[in-house]
C-alpha cells in the first residue's frame, strides 16, 4: 500500500489523457491490484506480468522492489477492451501504449538494427511469441502512426473489422494501401520524428515515480541533449543527476553537478552536493575542497557542516567529526539533518571508552527512535523509506536487534536506490553479526560490495567481512 497513491495518481492521469482521445461510454470503476508475487488464482500474461479482465474491470500487476508491471497502459488497455471489445493483441496493446514514449524506444531499436518488419508481428501467434518489448514498441508506434496520419475513426473501423486471422488484410482494406506501403510510411515517420525537452522530462519523471531509474536516466539524458534554454538545461541536469544518484553512478553525478555549479558559482549548496557525490565515489580530497568552499560561501549551511563531519569521520578524525555533529544538533536550523546527525554522532560516541559518552550515545539513539516512531505511526501521509533505515540504525545502536531487523527489512522492501540499499545491507550485516550469524552477515556485506554502494560503506563492509562487527 505504501506506493499506492503514486501508482493511482499516474493511472488516473494517463487514463484521463487517453479518454480525451476516445468516447468511452461503459460505466463503472476499474479495480487495480498491486501484487507482491503472481497469485495462483489469476491467469497471468507471462510476457508483461499482468492480468487484465475487462468484463470485471479487474487488473492485476506485480509491484515489488525488483519488478514493477503497474504501468499506465494496463488501465488504458482494460478501457479499450471494455469499451471496444476484442481485437488482435497488435491493435489492443498498440493502442493502449499510444501515450507512452514508445517512439523514442523504437527509434533506438532501429538505430541498433533490432527492428523487425511489421509482417513479423501481424499474426497474433507470432506477435505473442516475439520479444515482448520489441513487439509492444512496434505495435504502439505503428498504431500511433495510423492514428496521426489517418485519424481515430479510421483506426476504430480497423479495430472493429480485424481478427486474429485477417489483420493484414483488414489493414489494407481500411487504408486502401498495401501493407508494405504503410510500413515504408511508418519507417519514414520514425526516422523523421523529433522530440521536445518537455516530452523527455514528462516521461523521465514518470519513470522516476515508478522507480524505474535506468529508464529515467535514459530519458533524462535525452532531455539534456534537446535543451535550448538555461531553464530547461538546469531542469535536465537535475533530472540526470537524480537518476545517476539513484543507480549509483556517483562519478557522473559529480561531473554533471559541476555544470550546475558553473551556472551559479555563488551557491554553496551546489558545491556541498558535489562534495557528497565525490565522497560516495571515494574522492575525498576534492570533496574536502568543495566543502570548505561551500562553508566560505554560506557559513550557515548545516548540511555542509554535516557533510564535513562525514568527511572527518571517514578519514578517522572522530574528535573533529564529533564536534561538528554536536554543532549541527544544537543548531535550530538543522531540521533537515537532525536524525542523521544524531545517529552518526551516537555511533561515534558509542565506540568511546568514556562512560559519559556512551550514555550520551544511548540518549541520541532513543531520541531518534522516539521521533521516528511518532512520524511513522501517524495516520496521515507515508513515512519515507529512509526513515525506516535510520530507525533501524538507532535500534541497532540500542542493541534492540529484532526491531532493528524489522525496520531494515522494511527499508529494503520500499527502497531501491543504490546508496540507501547499500547502507541498509551494511546495517543488516551488523545486525546479523551481533546475533552471532556471521555467515549471514557476510552475505549482506557481499551485497554492499557487489552493487554501487558508497565508497565509505564499502570500506566498512570489507572490514567486517573477516572480522565480525561488535559494539
pLDDT in tens, 289-317: 999 999 999 988 889 999 999 999 999 99
Cell 559529480 locates to 254
Read off the pLDDT band of 1 (50, 70, 90). low
Tally of CB atoms within 10 A around 148: 13
Q: Mark out the alpha helices in 162-267 (DSSP H runs).
A: 167-175, 179-192, 197-209, 213-226, 230-247, 250-263
Residue 257 buriedness (CB in 10 A; 0-12 / 13-18 / 19+): buried
Contact 266, 443 (CB under 8 A): no
Average pLDDT value for residue range 251-270: 93
Average pLDDT value for residue range 231-236: 90
Q: In this structure, what C-alpha cell is assigned to residue 69? A: 508491471
Q: Is the dihedral of CA 186, 190, 195, 199 positive or negative?
A: positive
Read off the pLDDT band of 400 (50, 70, 90). very high
Distances (CA, A) of 276 to 299, 334, 384, 419: 17, 17, 20, 12
Q: What backbone torsions phi and psi does residue 31 show, to the nearest 5 degrees?
A: -110, 110
Q: What is the pLDDT of residue 54?
A: 87
Residue 235 buriedness (CB in 10 A; 0-12 / 13-18 / 19+): buried
Q: Which helix (H) or strand (E) holds 60?
A: strand 58-62
Give dist(CA 80, CA 142) in Å, integer: 17
Give dist(CA 389, CA 32) in Å, integer: 29
pTM for the full predicted model: 0.88
Q: What backbone torsions phi and psi does residue 64 show, to the nearest 5 degrees?
A: -140, 175
Average pLDDT value for residue range 413-436: 95
Average pLDDT value for residue range 89-115: 94
Give dist(CA 156, CA 147) in Å, integer: 9
The residues pairing with 292 across neighbouring beta strands, listed in sequence order, are none
Give dist(CA 394, CA 404) in Å, integer: 8
The residues pairing with 60 across neighbouring beta strands, listed in sequence order, are 33, 51
Do the bridges between strand 50-53 and strand 58-62 make them parallel or antiparallel, or are there none, so unpaired? Answer: antiparallel
Q: What value does the CA radius of gyration of the chain take, rounded to a whole number of Å?
A: 27
Q: What is the mean pLDDT of the chain?
A: 92
Read off the pLDDT band of 118 (50, 70, 90). very high
Q: What is the pLDDT of residue 353?
A: 87
Give dist(CA 94, CA 72) in Å, integer: 13
Highest mean pLDDT among 46-50, 61-65, 398-402: 398-402
Strands of the sheet containing 31-35, edge to edge, are 31-35, 58-62, 50-53
Of 222 and 377, the structure prediction assigns the larger pLDDT to 222
Residue 379 has pLDDT above 60, yes or no: no
Q: What is the pLDDT of residue 29?
A: 82
Contact 313, 344 (CB under 8 A): yes
Find all residues with CB under 8 Å of 277, minimum gap 6, and list them: 245, 250, 251, 253, 254, 257
Average pLDDT value for residue range 315-337: 86
Q: What is the b/e burial string over 65-75, where b = at least 16 CB atoms within 10 angstroms of the residue's CB?
A: eeebbbbbbbb
Find all residues with CB under 8 Å of 165, minimum gap 6, and list them: none
- Angle value at C-alpha 248, between 243 and 254, nearest 5 degrees: 75
Give dist(CA 219, CA 199) in Å, integer: 9
Amino acid at each position: 500500500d505504501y506506493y499506492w497513491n503514486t501508482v493511482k495518481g499516474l493511472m488516473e492521469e494517463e487514463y484521463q489523457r487517453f479518454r480525451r482521445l476516445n468516447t468511452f461510454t461503459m460505466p463503472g470503476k476499474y479495480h487495480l491490484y498491486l501484487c507482491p508475487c503472481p497469485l495462483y488464482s489469476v491467469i497471468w500474461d507471462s510476457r508483461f506480468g499482468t492480468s487484465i479482465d475487462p468484463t470485471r474491470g479487474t487488473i492485476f500487476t506485480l509491484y515489488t522492489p525488483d519488478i514493477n508491471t503497474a504501468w499506465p497502459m494496463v488501465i488504458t488497455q482494460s478501457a479499450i477492451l471494455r469499451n471496444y471489445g476484442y481485437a488482435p493483441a497488435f491493435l489492443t496493446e498498440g493502442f493502449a501504449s499510444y501515450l507512452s514514449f514508445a517512439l523514442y524506444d523504437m527509434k533506438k531499436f532501429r538505430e541498433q538494427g533490432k527492428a523487425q518488419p511489421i509482417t513479423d508481428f501481424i499474426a497474433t501467434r507470432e506477435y505473442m511469441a516475439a520479444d515482448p518489448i520489441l513487439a509492444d514498441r512496434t505495435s504502439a508506434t505503428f498504431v500511433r502512426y495510423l492514428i496521426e496520419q489517418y485519424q481515430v475513426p479510421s483506426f476504430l473501423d480497423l479495430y472493429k473489422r480485424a481478427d486474429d486471422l485477417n489483420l493484414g488484410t483488414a489493414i489494407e482494406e481500411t487504408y486502401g494501401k498495401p501493407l508494405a506501403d504503410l510500413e515504408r510510411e511508418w519507417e519514414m515517420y520514425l526516422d523523421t520524428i523529433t522530440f521536445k525537452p518537455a516530452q523527455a522530462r514528462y516521461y523521465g519523471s514518470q519513470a522516476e515515480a515508478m522507480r524505474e531509474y535506468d529508464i529515467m536516466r535514459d530519458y533524462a539524458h535525452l532531455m539534456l541533449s534537446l535543451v535550448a534554454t538555461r531553464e530547461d538545461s538546469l531542469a535536465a541536469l537535475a533530472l540526470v543527476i537524480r537518476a545517476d544518484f539513484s543507480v549509483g553512478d556517483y562519478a557522473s553525478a559529480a561531473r554533471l553537478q559541476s555544470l550546475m555549479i558553473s551556472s551559479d558559482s555563488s551557491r554553496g549548496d551546489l558545491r556541498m552536493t558535489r562534495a557528497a557525490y565525490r565522497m560516495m565515489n571515494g574522492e575525498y580530497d576534492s570533496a574536502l575542497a568543495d566543502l570548505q568552499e561551500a562553508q566560505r560561501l554560506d557559513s550557515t549551511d548545516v548540511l555542509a557542516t554535516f557533510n564535513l563531519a562525514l568527511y572527518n569521520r571517514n578519514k578517522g578524525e572522530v574528535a573533529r567529526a564529533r564536534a561538528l555533529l554536536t554543532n549541527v544538533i544544537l543548531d535550530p536550523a538543522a531540521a533537515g539533518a537532525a536524525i542523521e546527525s544524531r545517529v552518526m554522532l551516537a555511533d561515534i560516541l558509542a565506540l568511546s571508552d568514556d562512560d559519559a559518552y556512551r550514555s550520551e550515545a544511548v540518549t541520541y539513539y532513543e531520541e531518534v527512535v522516539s521521533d521516528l516512531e511518532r512520524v511513522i505511526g501517524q495516520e496521515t501521509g507515508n513515512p519515507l523509506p529512509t526513515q525506516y533505515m535510520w530507525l533501524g540504525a538507532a535500534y541497532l545502536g540500542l542493541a534492540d536487534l529484532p526491531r532493528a531487523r524489522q525496520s531494515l527489512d522494511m527499508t529494503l522492501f520500499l527502497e531501491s536506490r543504490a546508496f540507501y540499499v547499500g547502507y541498509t545491507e551494511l546495517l543488516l550485516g551488523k545486525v546479523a553479526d551481533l546475533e552471532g550469524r556471521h555467515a549471514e552477515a557476510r552475505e549482506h556485506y557481499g551485497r554492499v560490495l557487489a552493487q554501487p554502494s558508497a565508497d565509505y560503506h564499502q570500506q566498512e563492509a570489507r572490514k567486517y567481512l573477516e572480522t565480525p562487527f561488535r559494539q
